[in-house]
């Protein structure tokens, strides 16, 4: 990160996740292009839950990438 003073601690990240219920999920689509979608979420016991259909572009973008494990 370029500005180390703005880097959040893990406690700061958890605080933000608990305080809010919406954000933007950003990943890459099938063609390697950025794909971002707003969503509502709940952060509970260290896990982020968000509402989604079981199939669709968002799910494809999440599950196709090796660095993302939504079902961990």
Prediction pTM value: 0.67
* Residue scoring higher pLDDT (70 or 40): 40
Quote the pLDDT of residue 14.
92
Average pLDDT score over the chain: 83
Place 3 in a pLDDT band, splitting at 50, 70 and 90.
confident
The C-alpha atoms of residue 42 and residue 51 are separated, in whole angstroms, by 9
Among residues 17, 37, 41, which one has the least CA distance to residue 26?
A: 37
Q: For position 65, what pLDDT does the model report?
A: 63
């Amino acid at each position: 990160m370029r500005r180390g003073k703005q880097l959040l601690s893990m406690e700061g990240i958890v605080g933000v996740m608990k305080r809010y219920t919406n954000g933007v999920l950003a990943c890459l689509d099938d063609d390697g292009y950025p794909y971002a979608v707003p969503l509502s979420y709940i952060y509970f016991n260290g896990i982020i839950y968000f509402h989604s259909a079981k199939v669709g572009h968002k799910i494809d973008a999440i599950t196709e990438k090796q660095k993302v494990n939504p079902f961990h």
